[in-house]
Amino acid sequence: MPTDTRRLTGPESSQSPYNFAPATKLDLSNLESRPDGRKAHQLRPLFLRTDVISQARGSSYIEMNETKAICAVYGPREVLRREDFSLKGQLTCEFKFTTFSCKKRRQHQQDSQEKDLSVHVLEALEPAVCLHKYPKSQINIFITVLQHDGSAQEEQAILKSTVKPAEASVGCVTVAFLPSLSQVSAISSDGDLSFESLNKTMQACVTDCQRLYPVLEHALVKHQQDTEAANR
Amino acid sequence: MASFTVVKKEDLDAELEKGPKCVLRGQTSDLGCLTRQDGSVSLSQGDTTSIAVVYGPAEVRINKEKIDRATVEVIYRPKIGLPRPNHRKQERIMRNTLEAAIAANLHPRSSISVVIQETEDLGSNLSCSINSACLALLDAAVSMNFMVASVTVAIKENSDMILDPTKRDETEAKSVLTYVFDSVNYQILTIVSCGKFSRSEHKKGLTLAREAAKSVFQFYRESMSKKLLMSE
Amino acid sequence: MAEQFKMAQPKEYFKKFLENDIRPDNRELGEFRPTVLNIGCVSTAEGSALVKLGNTTVMCGVKAEVAQPDADKPKDGFLVPNVELSALCSPSFRPGPPGEQAQVLSQNMADLLQTSKCINLEDLCICPGKLVWVLHIDLVCLDYDGNVMDACTLALISALKNTSLPAVTVDEDTGDIKTDPTSLSNLPVSCCPVSTSFIIFDHNVLLVDPTNEEERLATGAVTVVVEGENLVSIYKPGGSALTDDQIETCIDRAVERSREASKLIKETLYSIDR
């Protein structure tokens, strides 16, 4: 493996001390109460704030118990490598876990899971953003997960004055839902699922998304009111 | 290579017996040692040697262009391997130092690049690099606001000062300070330190280095007049 | 009107404020922005801290791993600091490998750890010659509004003080490694270096804790790291020349700041211990 000359590097090989610890197994047999005391269909409590990064055009911070993520949106800005002229703007997304966000240390370079998640988020958001309003330019979304807990992946980019998409996940089905259009913009599922249970889970996800939407709305409205009050 | 190091060590021991050193090691320079460049020099301070070359003012890459002054680039090449973050730090120190010295506003939209090749690091390497860069700029006849001279001081555990330390002095010292002065008011352009020290030690080192810097400027003058006499 | 003046003549705009010894954000020349410290905010890391210096936000996470020591230093562990200036924190950074600034900051952090000796590398030894700790100290900038160096230093030291390592034992005979995640012990941190950064405006005015805008107008920069009354580092990479007295003023201010910051760290650590 070529060494990274742009970063400080430690010894060639090192491993997590928890590799040598006795393994603990998660008990999922009892669906009525999960290890953190939630019911099977219960979402984690949500904390949301917008405008946390002063340099970004739009930004948000989300915390769901032990999962914490921060997201910034930049643009519209010039496309650097102008390959072909397009009337439609470009949307890019970079999803990154910090190296310390998981139990096992992650690498600095984007790995396949992160690339995969970037594409998922991009696909979920693309229908929501009015890209035709930004010809010849690009909008960049950067998401960094500060702490990661469990299999859930929940992100939202709050784009001012565009449709706000929410993404919620339960188990291994992730659904992105556009509440104002009542349409699902992205869905991904992983693992072995029967049609019936997939349908059922999707229904549950959509209901949860609809419940999340007012929370997002409230956070945005509150931020708007705060800035207006500050300007006055 | 191995035998070479052994000889050097004996030299160092012999030198060590001469007692405390409060003078700079002998300096020799070979101006215009290379022919394809606009300016070049091979400078030795004691056994520490580096080669510096200057290209410019020349055409600049469009993304680095500055409309009101020349872009100064410094590239540092270590003796072995690829540049690492510690070399980047050195590059930045040298670039900022030389940017102040070069009259960059006389050459808008152009580039002045300095390449420094480390050939032998036997103590006070940063000083040697900066001094060689300054001599190369003089050799290339680049317009400058002032000249710069760099001097390294090592502070021993018992607060004794060693000017222009050798590699061994550096490893034995509790801290090593490198100063750069301008040739007009002998004010401080750059300070880089490594190791803990007290305020009084800093003051003492500063006075010592400032005195020594004057002899470096004298050396520049001699080197340049020798070169001019030769070309006549 | 003020906005346009600032846009067209940023330097003149600044000078107008400095004439009255005040900065556009209502600070005095030697005043730091409000500092917020949150220690132990990431439970997946062995130690963590979040520092806010005005808008500038840096998060530090320490992740511990085990590795074989170098043959010539069988007792020494490894400290691997890295600063990430991701594209998330400012529009001037692009995604990709770390740029020059991030590399220089990483190197500064490494130099700081090495010269201040706040962590004795032998404390990271588990079994001499066989197993030592590697502390990957990753600093992520979340919001870039100037003076990332000071924010990074504060986050680094706070995170290290917060670091606790699980008990790891090596079986003498078989060489088997065993980890007991339930018994944690704190990492000894012997001192608390604090860095203070200044920019030089218009060749002779010194401004402490610069914002991003101020950094862009700077003609030079100075960073002084002190630990108690001792100097750990003076770092002035070129730029405008300064007199000896000006350097002394910087050191004075840095000593003062070090007291404030050490107190802040102590108080924050105390409040989470309770």
Each residue of C51-63: pLDDT tens digit? 999 999 999 999 9
Q: Determine, for residues C238 and B197 on separate chains, whether the beta-carbon distance falls below 8 Å.
A: no
Closest-CA residue of chain B to C248: B199
The predicted structure's pLDDT at residue A167 = 34
| Six-digit token string for A127 | 């229908």
Average pLDDT, chain C: 92
Provide the pLDDT for residue A83: 67
Which runs of E-coded beta strand occur in chain C?
Answer: 35-39, 47-53, 56-67, 78-84, 125-127, 131-143, 164-170, 177-186, 194-201, 205-208, 220-227, 230-236
Is the Cβ of C249 closer than 8 Å to some Cβ of chain A? no
pTM: 0.90
For chain A, strand residue ranges (E) read: 46-50, 58-64, 67-78, 90-97, 137-147, 166-170, 173-178, 183-189
Give the gap in angstroms from C-alpha B89 to the nearest C-alpha of chain A. Answer: 11
Domains and CATH numbers, chain B: 21-231 (3.30.230.70)
Chain B residues with beta carbon closer than 8 angstroms to that of C110: 85-86
Distance CA B161, CA B157 (A): 10
Which own/partner contact pairs does B34-40 have at CB distance under 8 Å and 24+ positions apart?
B37/B140, B38/B140, B39/B136, B39/B137, B39/B138, B39/B139, B39/B140, B39/B141, B39/B142, B40/B136, B40/B139
Residue C246 DSSP symbol: H
The widest CA-to-CA distance across chain A, in whole angstroms, is: 60
Segment B3-53, tens digit of pLDDT: 333 445 555 455 545 444 557 888 888 988 898 899 999 999 999 999 999
Judged by average pLDDT, the poorest of A43-57, C205-219, C254-268 is A43-57
- The confidence score (pLDDT) of residue B3 equals 32
Comparing A114-118, C205-209, C252-256, which segment has the lowest mean pLDDT?
Answer: A114-118
| Beta-carbon separation of A6 and B82 below 8 A | no
* Cβ–Cβ contact B221 with C under 8 A: no
State whether C234 and B203 contact (CB < 8 Å): no
Please state, rounded to an integer, the average pLDDT across all residues of chain B. 88
Query: Which among C153, C138, C128 is positioned nearest to C82, based on CA atoms?
Result: C138
Nearest to C13 by CA among C25, C28, C27, C2: C2
**pLDDT attached to residue A181:** 67
Q: B54 with B136: CB under 8 angstroms?
A: yes
Query: What is the tens place of the pLDDT at every residue in C87-121?
Result: 999 999 988 899 999 999 999 999 999 999 999 99
Q: What is the mean pLDDT of residues A151-176?
A: 38
Instruction: Confirm or reject contact between B224 and chain C (CB < 8 A).
Output: no
Quote the pLDDT of residue B213: 94
Q: State the pLDDT at residue A82.
A: 63
Which residues in chain B belong to E strands, given as ranges?
27-31, 39-45, 48-58, 71-77, 111-120, 148-155, 161-163, 175-182, 188-194
CA distance B230 to chain C (A): 34
Of residues B20 and C11, which shows the higher confidence score? C11
Note the pLDDT of residue A86.
76
> Picking from A142-146, A155-159, A173-177, C25-29, which range would have the lowest pLDDT averaged per residue?
A155-159
Residue of C64, C140, C143 with shortest CB distance to A55: C143
Lowest model confidence (mean pLDDT) among A105-109, A222-226, C148-152: A222-226
pLDDT, tens digit (0-9, with 9 covering 90-100), for A33-70: 666 677 766 777 778 787 888 898 888 888 877 788 88
Mean of the pLDDT values across residues A189-217? 75
Name the residue among A67, A120, A60 with its Cα closest to residue A97.
Answer: A67
The DSSP bridge pattern shows strands A67-78 and A90-97 to be unpaired
Name every chain B residue with its beta carbon within 8 A of the beta carbon of C230. 196-198
Chain C: give the shortest CA distance to residue B27, in Å: 24
- Contact residues, chain C, for B187 at CB < 8 Å: 241-243
CB-CB under 8 Å, B189 with C106: no
CB < 8 Å from C in window 60-79 of A: 66, 68, 70-72, 74, 77
Contact pairs from chain A to chain C, CB under 8 Å: 140
CA A103 to chain centre: 19
pLDDT at A180: 63
Whether chain A has a CB inside 8 Å of the CB on C189: the answer is no
* Contacts C200 to B, Cβ<8 Å: none
**Given a contact as 3+ CB pairs under 8 Å, which chains touch B?**
A, C
Q: Which of residues 126-145 of C touch A (CB under 8 A)?
A: 134, 136, 138, 140, 142-145
pLDDT at B189 over 50: yes
What stretch of H or E contains B129? Answer: helix B125-139
The ranges assigned to domains in chain C are 1-31, 32-273
- Determine the residue of chain B that is closest to A2 in CA distance: B82
* Chain C CB contacts of B82 below 8 Å: none
C106 touches chain A (CB under 8 A): yes
Q: Give the B window 89-108 contacts with C, CB below 8 Å.
A: 89, 91-100
Task: Tell me how far apart the alpha carbons of residues A218 and A220 are, in angstroms, rounded to a whole number.
Answer: 5
The chain B residue lying nearest A4, using CA atoms, is B84
- CA pair distance A1, B3, nearest whole angstrom: 33
Residue B10's pLDDT is 54
| Amino acid A162: pLDDT | 29
Nearest to C23 by CA among C147, C149, C148, C209: C209
pLDDT of res. B71: 95
What pLDDT, on a 0 to 100 scale, did the predictor assign at position A195?
78
In this structure, of A138-152, B76-90, B139-153, C8-22, the range with the lowest mean pLDDT score is A138-152
Confidence of residue A2 (pLDDT cuts 50, 70, 90): low
A11/C134 Cβ within 8 A: yes
- Calculate the average pLDDT of chain A: 74
The predicted pLDDT at position C115 comes to: 92
Residue C268 CB partners (closer than 8 Å, separation 6+): C37, C38, C39, C158
pLDDT at residue A1 is higher than 70: no
**pLDDT for the residue B14:** 52
Domains of chain A: 42-231 (3.30.230.70)
Q: How far is B85 from chain A (nearest CA, A)?
A: 6
Considering only CB atoms, which chain C residues are within 8 Å of B202? 231, 234, 251
Task: Compute the half-sphere exposure of residue C119: CA atoms within 13 Å on the CB side of its CA.
Answer: 30
For the domain spanning C32-273, the CATH number is 3.30.230.70
Residue range B179-191: mean pLDDT, rounded: 95
Q: Which residue has the tokens 């993404």?
A: A167
Predicted pLDDT of residue A170: 32
Residues in B touching A5 (Cβ below 8 Å): 82-84
Cβ–Cβ contact C238 with B under 8 A: yes
pLDDT value for C56: 95
Are residues C165 and C125 in contact, defined by beta-carbon separation less than 8 angstroms? Answer: no
Say whether pLDDT at B165 is over 70: yes
Q: To the nearest whole angstrom, how far is the Cα of C193 from the nearest Cα of chain A? A: 21
Q: Return the pLDDT at A79.
A: 79
By the 8 A CB rule, do A125 and A107 touch?
no
CB contact under 8 A, B196 and C106: no
> Which residues in chain B touch residue C218, judged by CB atoms under 8 angstroms apart?
none
Specify the pLDDT at position A196. Answer: 80
- pLDDT for the residue numbered A124: 78
More confident residue, A163 or A2: A2
Spatial contact of C53 and C64, defined as CB atoms under 8 Å apart: no
Per-residue pLDDT tens over the stretch B79-125: 998 899 999 999 999 999 999 999 999 999 999 999 999 999 998 99
Q: How far is A85 from chain B (nearest CA, A)?
A: 21
For residues C220 and A77, which has the higher predicted lDDT (pLDDT)?
A: C220
Q: Helix or strand or coil: residue C152?
A: helix
ipTM of the complex: 0.91
The helix/strand/coil state of C59 is: strand
pLDDT given at position A30: 58
Please report all neighbours of C, defined by 3+ CB atom pairs within 8 A.
A, B
Is B174 within 8 Å of chain C by CB? no
